[in-house]
Amino acid sequence: MSPVLQSYHCLAPEQITTSVSPRSALAEPASDMWAAGVIAFVLLSGQWPVDADSPQLLQKKIKTGLWAFIPSDVWGGVSERAKSFLTTLMVANVAKRPAATQALSHPFLKLDALDKNALKPLARSKDICRSLRRISGWQAFKVELVHAIATHLSTAQLTDFQRHMCSLEQAGGKGSLQLSAFRRGLVQAGIQLPGRLAESLLEMASDDARTLSVQEVVDAAAERRQGLEETALWSLWSLLSPEGAATLRRAELLQLVDRGGGLLRQVFGPKASELDVVGGRGGEMPEFMKYEDLLARLRACAQDGVRSQGVRPAGWRGSLDLSIRLPPTPDAY
């Protein structure tokens, strides 16, 4: 599992901040009690109490403080004392969360040696072990899939991609697709996955129970795409301003375009390195420009470029004109 995403799973609602790094979350004893509850939840069920396809989406869900004992077939064999223990620890209101000494005195941890039933292993212990291995591989797979989509499609294209994937959904699917349908949609959208990831998708697609939320995957890819764009531009910006200045002078902007034109075109589109995009109409460079302003101009350029290249994909029979080109036969992977 992705170490970063795994650390997010154990964050308490009060630790969710505007920062993108879990290291910046303030750790308090009460937060540790929530994390202990999350770990106990996973060991008893083989699943996370709250899950999502990206750190950003996961934070939003955790911040609500909502979770539940579902599905019923997983929790049917778990004792009421165990459920009570989790309910005691995973309380959104920090003031109502127990201290460590109080948690240790909970009946779930004070088992009577004569209580034979309490000392029996969980009926689903083998299933839980398999599930723990499964969620680790599943989460890593989703992270890689989101990254692959984000590197292939711009933010503007992701909107069209979402509509395309939703058109494959069967009635009543509630925004989720079986992996076999998701795989077909990726092929139609011309997104070629790396070999190992493509093999994993093909293998997992044979499991009819596996589904992906189109909305969550697209939202996660959009977050990832924005991060890639920011990283690409900042890598060029920092070459000319090692100390991270908020603005660059005209001469430095020209150097940025000259040195990083290839990277700009790759990330923001073929017109991203043209002076009229960076400096305005007629190629007139401003005397100074902020990083945020240049990023906004490049993103607007990428969006305009996608709109101008819109084509009806070969083989597409729907009403949507995707700006991504679909191959005539979905035989990849």
Span 128-138, pLDDT tens digits: 777 776 666 77
Rg (CA), the chain: 24
pLDDT band at 153 (very low <50, low <70, confident <90, very high): confident
pLDDT of residue 219: 86
Total-model pTM: 0.58
Q: Which residue has the higher pLDDT, 40 or 178?
A: 40
pLDDT of residue 41: 93
Phi, psi torsion values for 292, nearest 5 degrees: -60, -35
Name the CATH superfamily for 3-123. Answer: Transferase(Phosphotransferase) domain 1 (1.10.510.10)
For the ranges 44-53, 83-92, 244-253, 256-265, the one whose mean pLDDT is highest: 83-92
Output the average pLDDT for the chain: 76
pLDDT band at 310 (very low <50, low <70, confident <90, very high): very low
pLDDT band at 309 (very low <50, low <70, confident <90, very high): very low
Parse the chain into domains and list their residue ranges.
3-123, 128-216, 223-308
For residue 19, how many other CB atoms are within 10 A of its CB?
10
pLDDT of residue 32: 92
pLDDT band at 212 (very low <50, low <70, confident <90, very high): confident
Distance separating alpha carbons of residues 48 and 43, to the nearest angstrom: 9
pLDDT of residue 333: 40
In percent, the amount of the chain with pLDDT more than 90 equals 13
For residue 95, how many other CB atoms are within 10 A of its CB?
6
Span 259-283, pLDDT tens digits: 888 888 888 887 777 766 666 545 5
Q: Which residue has the higher pLDDT, 313 or 112?
A: 112
CB 243 within 8 A of CB 258: no
In percent, the amount of the chain with pLDDT more than 70 equals 74
Q: Which two tokens stand for residue 201?
A: 């998708």
Is the alpha carbon torsion for 286, 292, 298, 303 positive or negative? negative
pLDDT of residue 86: 95
Taking alpha carbons only, the member of 264, 278, 245 closest to residue 154 is: 264
Asked if pLDDT for residue 17 goes beyond 80, the answer is no
pLDDT of residue 280: 56
pLDDT band at 53 (very low <50, low <70, confident <90, very high): low
pLDDT of residue 8: 78
Asked if pLDDT for residue 330 goes beyond 80, the answer is no
Range scoring the smallest mean pLDDT among 23-27, 298-302, 325-329:
325-329
pLDDT band at 4 (very low <50, low <70, confident <90, very high): very low
pLDDT band at 83 (very low <50, low <70, confident <90, very high): very high
pLDDT of residue 172: 46
pLDDT of residue 38: 94
